[in-house]
Amino acid sequence: MTGQATLDRVVATHPAAAPTLQVDDLSVVFHGAAGQVIAIDRMTLTVQPGEFVAIVGPSGCGKSTLLRVASGLAPAHSGNIRVNGAVVDGPPPGVGFMFQRDTLLPWATVRQNIAVGCELSGLAPSKHAARIDELIDLVHLQGFHHHYPAALSGGMRQRVSLARLLAYEPDVYLMDEPFGALDYQTKIVMGRELLRIWEAHRKSIVFVTHDIEEAVALADRVVVMSPRPGRIVAEHVIDLPRPRDPRTLRGDVRFGAYCRDIWAALAIDER
């Protein structure tokens, strides 16, 4: 499939809604010992309320940089990112993160870690205990309330991270390979859990992954980036029915076709 044919498949979604996240002609340039590095080159992307967007692309194409700019941790060289209409120029309200490695407080229990999210959300302290109970049930960690992170498996720690993120109640979730360090089986289970929770709450998610199957199984739309400097070379709307179960989707003929198309799009600039 040609690059143009792939781009021709782009279908706009939810055109009438005000975007949660708007990336406008964004370029990001780093100046290091090796000279100037253009990490992102004039990227434009819109994420609508409640939309689940996955971003795939070769290593070093600027995926994490995009999330860092969206979170106010790195500056734009030109262009900008807006969250709920406001240009990001520092950590914006309403944005939550989850990374490949959990960032739990090692000296705090599961409950205490989730409480951090409750505090950030501004929830009244008198309501924390009930909310934490609810979230622990939601991520299926009943019985582990008073465990410390060191006593949990990688998948369980990521469940706590997810619960903490949910406690914060952001409008947009920036997820940078959140299940990338997990074994295959746990990764599939976590994807299913994320979908179950997202389908109940419908917040916007930007989900970076190297795993094309994971992107297709989870997202409404998969954005494909070029090798550095990162540009968008294709967008694929994933028109698979919801609710989805990532365990069974892999046998679906359309699922396989989406994966093949995205593989082809990724190869555009690699020939």
Ligand X SMILES: Nc1ncnc2c1ncn2[C@@H]1O[C@H](COP(=O)(O)OP(=O)(O)OP(=O)(O)O)[C@@H](O)[C@H]1O
Residues engaged in binding ligand X (CB under 6 A): 30, 32, 37, 39, 57, 59-65, 228
In the complex, the smallest distance separating the C-beta of residue 74 from ligand X, rounded to whole angstroms, is: 7
- Amino acid of residue 15: P
Integer angstrom CA distances of residue 235 from 16, 28, 71, 160: 19, 21, 23, 32
- Give kind and range of the element (H or E) at residue 17: none
Q: Which is nearer to ligand X, 35 or 85 (CB)?
A: 35
- Amino acid of residue 80: N
Q: Which is nearer to ligand X, 10 or 37 (CB)?
A: 37
Q: Which residues contact 91 (CB under 8 A, 6 or more apart)?
A: 71, 72, 73
SS in 3 state form for 26-55?
EEEEEEECCEEEEEEEEEEEEECCCCEEEE
Q: Which is nearer to ligand X, 75 or 93 (CB)?
A: 75
Provide the sign of the torsion angle of the four alpha carbons 198, 201, 202, 205, taken in this order.
negative
In the complex, the smallest distance separating the C-beta of residue 80 from ligand X, rounded to whole angstroms, is: 17
- Amino acid of residue 181: A
In the complex, the smallest distance separating the C-beta of residue 182 from ligand X, rounded to whole angstroms, is: 16
Q: Which is nearer to ligand X, 60 or 79 (CB)?
A: 60
Q: Which is nearer to ligand X, 167 or 212 (CB)?
A: 212
In the complex, the smallest distance separating the C-beta of residue 17 from ligand X, rounded to whole angstroms, is: 28
In the complex, the smallest distance separating the C-beta of residue 235 from ligand X, rounded to whole angstroms, is: 17
The DSSP string of 137-186 is HHTT-TT-TT--GGGS-HHHHHHHHHHHHHHH--SEEEEESTTTTS-HHH
In the complex, the smallest distance separating the C-beta of residue 205 from ligand X, rounded to whole angstroms, is: 17
In the complex, the smallest distance separating the C-beta of residue 38 from ligand X, rounded to whole angstroms, is: 8
Q: Which is nearer to ligand X, 67 or 156 (CB)?
A: 67
- Give kind and range of the element (H or E) at residue 199: helix 184-201
Q: Which is nearer to ligand X, 66 or 104 (CB)?
A: 66
Token pair 């967008």 is at which residue? 235
Integer angstrom CA distances of residue 149 from 8, 113, 145, 160, 174: 47, 9, 11, 9, 22
